[in-house]
Amino acid sequence: MGFNRFIINVITRSLLLALTALGIAFLFKHSEWLFTLIFLCLLFIFQIYFLIRYATKINRDLANFLVHIKEQDTTLAFSKTTIDKTFKGLSKEFEKINLEFKKVNDDKIKKQHLLNQLINQVGTGIIILNEQNEIILQNRSIKDILSVTESNNTALIDKLFSVFENLNSLNIGEQKIETIQINNLTRRILISLSGIKEDYQTLKIYSFHDIDREITDYELQSWNGLIKVLSHEIMNTVTPISTVVDTLKDCLFIEENAKKLNEINEKDISDTIRGINILENRIIGLQDFINKFRQFLDVPVPELKTIEINDLFKSISETYKNKITVICKSTSQSIKVLVDKDLMELTFINIVKNAIEAQASEIILSADKCNKRIRLSIKDNGNGIDPKIMKKVFLPFYTTKSEGSGIGLSLARQIMFAHGGNIEIESLKNGTIIKLVF
């Protein structure tokens, strides 16, 4: 219907042009009507101008729209005054696409903000450089290590390569310790380098750790593991974005030229919207990762209350009675402990969840008191833990599961430390024993 209106308008304007041309031809034989002839000639020129303008209006709006998309400018308000009268459906579809692109752009900004918040929580200095040694991402800790206060990237790069003169000699996957002197202080820095592929180039992720702060080997491995997780999450975000951008280019461009109106079909529009949904899902996944990371970092100060151990065991038993057999070995004497009940239940939930994922069909909860120490034991009959990875089970984000987050036991240990206690783990031939010691 809209296309028919467009044809009718073009035909009408063409007929008017023809009539004007006939009038001009007629007046050429009557020189006494000179002013009328001049008027018709001017009218003819204006009619041609407005016909061309009308015929190209849609292409101009479409080209303008595609240029704004290419430049990632979602502030364009797609014109409705002309197109809605003739191509109403197409106008609405492009309004939807424009809104979806605006949403993607907003989500991209939120994702960048979340990433910045995440790496700024890390005490290890992190800086990501491209192949031209330009800064892609950095955190506050790298500025603290280099004692740089200004936010100028050029100054930071200059200071980085003046302090670490052999930085370019480090290969991806390698680590080395350098002794530096900043503000008359000598410090030993552990430098690690990893890399990811993005837009046909390799991004270098440097981490700088001040080992003079007496951080344990486990904590060093934790930060290195965190860098790998960050690299993985960045790659998981960048890869679908890159793929979807290529899809959008295929939908809206032909050999770097914007498609004309008659070259865009419903499949192009549906593929564009589907690609935008993929980006949205990836951002949701990234937000879930950030939430898990925050949960690990932000263990609240325990609100200590005296609770009965048997009551705690019954609560856990009720929670998992439909998923696994829970045997509570009640103590002959009343054992009470000063803990935060909610945090303790969270600790048990993480431990029992690991037991279920290790194919355990039964867990045994028990408690004993010896030499002013209270020890709660959780024993399962699952697959046990490989001795090769026993030292890594408490590392944040370390996991052998394809879909595991790797924070269960790390979070449990954080909670126990917050209570002034500790957590011990022992792997058996047929199961695992985890002990919470107060």
Which CATH code is given to the segment(s) 305-437?
3.30.565.10
Predicted pLDDT at 251: 72
Q: Tell me how long the chain is.
A: 438
What topology does CATH give the domain 105-297? Beta-Lactamase (3.30.450)
What does the alpha-carbon distance between residue 304 and residue 309 come to, in Å, rounded to a whole number? 14
Averaged pLDDT for residues 26-45: 77
pLDDT in tens, 15-27: 888 888 887 777 7
Q: Which of 196, 292, 178, 211 is nearest to 242 (CA)?
A: 196
Show me where the domains of the chain are located: 2-76, 105-297, 305-437
Interior angle at CA 238, CA 236 and CA 242, nearest 5? 125
Predicted pLDDT at 34: 75
CA 11 to chain centre: 53
Per-residue pLDDT at 84 exceeds 60 = no
Contact (CB, 8 A) for 350 and 408: yes
Query: Which of 12-16, 125-129, 289-293, 324-328 bottoms out in mean pLDDT, i.e. has the lowest?
Result: 289-293
Per DSSP, the residues of 145-189 read: HHT--S--HHHHHHHHHHHSTTGGGPPTT-EEEEEEEETTEEEEE
Interior angle at CA 97, CA 91 and CA 102, nearest 5? 125
Per-residue pLDDT at 214 exceeds 60 = no
User: 65 versus 166: which is more confidently predicted?
Assistant: 166
- What is the chain's Cα-based Rg? 34
pLDDT in tens, 123-169: 788 888 888 888 888 888 888 888 887 778 888 888 888 888 888 88
Predicted pLDDT at 81: 46
The per-residue pLDDT of the chain, averaged, comes to: 76
User: How distant, in Å, are the alpha carbons of 201, 240, 283, 353 from that of 233?
Assistant: 18, 11, 10, 24
Whole-model pTM? 0.40
Averaged pLDDT for residues 26-51: 78
What does the alpha-carbon distance between residue 186 and residue 377 come to, in Å, rounded to a whole number? 46
Query: Which of 70-84, 287-301, 395-409, 420-434 bottoms out in mean pLDDT, i.e. has the lowest?
Result: 70-84
